[in-house]
Structure 1
Amino acid sequence: MQALTAEQREFAERAEAVAAEFADDAYTWEGDVPWENLRRLAEADLYCPSISEEYGGQGRSDVAAMLLTQAVGRECPDTGWFTYMQGMVGPRAIDLFGSEAVKEEYLPAVTAGESFVSIAISEPDAGSDVGSMSTEVTEEGGELVCNGEKTWVGGVPFGDAAVTWVRFPEGLGSVVIPYDDPGVEIEEVYTNMAGYAQTHFTIDDVVIPESHVLTRGKEAFKEQLVSLNWERLGSSVLTVAWAEAALEQALAYASDREQFDRSLDEFQGIEWRLAEMYRNVETAASLVYMSAAGAQGHDPAPPRLQTSTAKLHCSQMVEEVASEAVQIVGARAYQRGHPLEYLYRFARSRRIAAGTDEMQLNTIARALKEDGVPPVSAR
């Protein structure tokens, strides 16, 4: 893994110390929000580290947000997901592209661990194909008016607003839509494998203040697309954290469990499985941090080839490692409520969320065809 600076190492150590406090309640949340954990991180000046200082963050690089997500996610998968979502996805878009007014409205509550801002991209007829989105913002009587619908949106039941991708007359863009607007109607709420709600809502004649427009126009939206590379790395490091947790549990069980008068970890078949699991985790971590090496904040952004490669590898890796951990522990781990069963349900989401495997393959192939294989010096 890429060597950390002294400052990054100190931050990671502080994050690990606080994250250890979350272990007792880990694997018990089942869709509830670990608000007390988020507030504890905020009190320790750890939460949302890459958000600007004037809005309650620490103004650090996105690498710090990755380090926090890894430290926390290894102890508590739920709290890790929240640190990723609020540190590197919706609120980060507001911090990067928003007006002073919209930043002041939403970011202080988020960074205090008191609020949640979602991201709404998918529609019933447009998932990975964002170019087919039909949710639109039009100008009517001197106002910007939004109509459409979004689905598979996380965090709506406990959130305040969504960074919503839309279509303007001149092309794609994004706006912030509060859930308490009378034009926002919840149509359906689904519960995913990890126990969290995902929501389908409609947007009917919602007036968008100019201050709530994040990106509009080809160049502005292109910047938002580039910022997704950080989201992919955030998702990737979250999978590393979950895989580390699965490996730790499998290793502990194998050393304690005896069969045929010896512990499981004395059987070469188990030893090799554990070794392969570690190889996969360490390879994934190296890919993630090498992709982020040298990047500070949003400029420069990590390249699409490396970030898509990391996202693809890590999403598949965590499912494999979690599955192997379940296999080593056996029937106990297959029971609802066991930490490894819990982790496996979380792990499966990553091959869909933040860009499916298939979309990452498309991006990798397109980058190779356009730019060729990058030299060592460019990686």
Structure 2
Amino acid sequence: MTASPKLPPFDPADPLGIDELLDAEDLAVRDTVRRWAVRRVLPDVADWYEKGELPGIRELARELGELGALGMSLSGYGCAGASAVQYGLACLELEAADSGIRSLVSVQGSLAMYAIHRFGSEEQKQTWLPRMASGEVIGCFGLTEPDHGSDPASMRTYAGRDGGDWVLSGRKMWITNGSVASVAVVWAQTEEGIRGFVVPTDRPGFAAPEIRHKWSLRASVTSELIMDDVRLPADAVLPGAVGLKGPLSCLSHARYGIVWGAMGAARACFEAAVDYARTREQFGKPIGGFQLTQAKLADMAVELHKGILLAHHLGRRMDAGRLRPEQVSFGKLNNVREAMEICRTARTILGANGISLEYPVMRHATNLESVLTYEGTVEMHQLVLGKALTGLDAFR
């Protein structure tokens, strides 16, 4: 008889053995970003969140640039040219620290830099991308408006030609990085359809007041963009994008990062719940020894690692050039929704301590309320999948 192969030990941190799907470079990227987040973000993020600020954001951006995390999956122009899976692993580790840090990276790389990289002129790429990749320049992405969130086709921001120039007017809302950005990619109606513009934020008529009184993404800079007859040269327009397909493709790229990032928030809450359950005693023993607590932990682990496996699968499809927008919607819908449930369940295990900033659970839970909405609400992703499944359009 042939002897049965010796099974590897069960790893509570990786119960499905997903790490075996990663190569040495993948693991190195993940571990490098994790070490940075643990050292640079975790010691202070609770205070940042409580105060509703992200101090030293420019220094953080430069450090993230040194890590190669900005525009990470883009090639050339100082970008790291990492795989989609490696970018996803970085998003997971950043959001395990805080959603606001992952949002900083996502908006910089997957929205502003991606738009310039994919749709910009060579001059625009050379002017902006190397400095954005290094973190010297922070960018933002202006699509959502005060009255037009899920329906960007109805945007009111308008750019018209005036001689050889463009004149841009309108407002954008809920813009991550807006108040600290040196460049904004702004989408506007024109006579030719929706176009994207590369807007230096020091232009006369441009303002970006910060939005205050947030109870989610508090360790993040969120702003309104106000354009009042901002005059731009003819070459400010992104030549490769006409219509909604341009900004929507940027959003799809950013949503992919969220598929991974949401699992980072979920993992942080799950780990906090496991640690707490092992040490918190009630009725004479650790609460982790009670059946109901173990049932909660088992369900959380199943959904967490299913979500990571889903993210990994979508990453491999993206690397192969086979990832469809509907599949990204599938991932965001599932992973953010399950991450929120994991956070809520973790809160019940921690009891009253679950609402304290001494633990990460409530911070992640409130952050995920924003993640659930931005880059497409639950309802929009349900309708994307509904249309794909039935062939019938329920949007209008």
TM-score (norm 2): 0.84
Pick the aligned partner of 1:142 from 164, 179, 191: 164
| 1:174 and 2:217 matched | no
Aligned residue identity for 1:236: V
Query: Does the aligned pair in 1 maintain the 2:347–2:355 contact within 8 Å?
Result: yes
CA-CA distance at 1:139 after TM superposition = 1.5
Gaps of 5+ in 2: 1-17
Is 1:12–2:30 an aligned residue pair?
yes
Counterpart position of 1:225 = 248
Q: Answer yes or no: is 1:204 the counterpart of 2:228.
A: yes
| Structure 1 pair 198–35 and aligned structure 2 pair: CA distance change class (3 A) | closer
Distance in 2, matches of 1:28 and 1:111, equals: 28
1:185 aligns with 2:207: yes
2:33 and 2:357 mapped to 1: Cα distance? 29
Displacement of 1:210 after TM fit?
3.5
AA of the residue aligned to 1:272: A
Matched, 1:132 2:154: yes
The residue aligned with 2:353 is 332
CA contact (8 A) 2:146 2:172 kept: yes
**Residues 2-36 of structure 1 deviation map (CA, whole Å, 9 limit, x = unaligned):** 93344333322333343332333343322214544
User: 1:45 and 1:216, CA in 2 relative to 1: closer, same or farther beyond 3 A?
Assistant: closer
Shift of 1:264: 0.9
2:39 pairs, out of 4, 15, 21, with 21
Change (3 A) 1:289 1:208: farther
Q: Which is further off, 184-193 or 158-167?
A: 184-193
- The answer on whether the counterparts of 1:136 and 1:168 sit within 8 Å (CA) in structure 2 is yes
CA separation of 1:165/1:215 partners in 2, compared to 1, >3 Å: closer, same or farther? Answer: farther
Whether the 8 Å CA contact 2:179–2:210 is kept in 1: the answer is no
Q: CA deviation at 1:95?
A: 1.9
Identity of aligned residues (%): 27
Q: 1:38 to 1:200 in 2, by over 3 A?
A: closer
Match of 2:388 in 1: 367
**C-alpha RMSD of the superposition:** 2.5
1:377 corresponds to = none
Distance 1:309 1:48, change over 3 A: same
CA gap of 1:7–1:217, structure 2 versus 1, over 3 A, is closer
What letter matches 2:34 in structure 1?
Answer: E
The reply on whether 1:308 has 2:329 as its aligned counterpart is yes
Task: State the Cα deviation string for residues 98-128 of structure 1 (Å, max 9, x = none).
Answer: 2233233333332223332111111122111
How many Å apart are 1:216 and its aligned residue? 5.8
Cα deviation for residue 315 of structure 1 reads: 1.7
Deviation at 1:346, TM superposition (A): 1.1
Distance 1:187 1:24, change over 3 A: closer
Q: Would the alpha carbon gap of residues 47 and 164 (structure 1) be closer, same or farther in structure 2, given more than 3 Å must change?
A: closer
How many angstroms does 1:132 deviate by? 0.6
Q: What CA distance in whole angstroms lies between the structure 2 residues aligned with 1:339 and 1:274? A: 17
Q: CA deviation at 1:63?
A: 2.9
Q: Give the deviation of 1:323 after TM superposition.
A: 1.2
SS of aligned partner of 1:59: coil
TM-superposed CA distance for 1:205, in Å, is: 1.7
Separation (CA, whole Å) in 2 of partners of 1:73 and 1:217? 30
Instruction: Give the alignment's TM-score, normalised by structure 1.
Output: 0.88
Separation in 2 of the partners of 1:241 and 1:176?
32
- How far apart, CA to CA, are the structure 2 residues paired with 1:41 and 1:205? 34
Q: For 1:50-98, what per-residue CA distance to the aligned partner results, in whole angstroms no more than 9, with x for missing partners?
A: 23332x2212233322121112322444433323332322222222222
Number of residue pairs matched by the alignment: 367
The CA distance in 1 between the partners of 2:224 and 2:260, in whole Å, is 28
The residue aligned with 1:288 is 311
CA distance in 2, matches of 1:148, 1:301: 36
- C-alpha distance in 2, partners of 1:40/1:244? 24
Structure 1 residues 338 and 267 mapped into 2: Cα distance closer, same or farther (>3 Å)?
same
The answer for unaligned runs of 5 or more in structure 1 is: 372-379
1:102 and 2:121 aligned: no
Query: What is the aligned partner in structure 1 of residue 186 from structure 2?
Result: 164
- Asked if the contact 1:74/1:241 (under 8 Å) is kept, the reply is yes
Q: Report the alpha carbon displacement of residue 157 of structure 1 after superposing the two structures with TM.
A: 2.0
- Residues of 1 paired with 2:192 and 2:105: CA distance? 34
Counterpart of 1:344 (choices 343, 365, 383) is 365
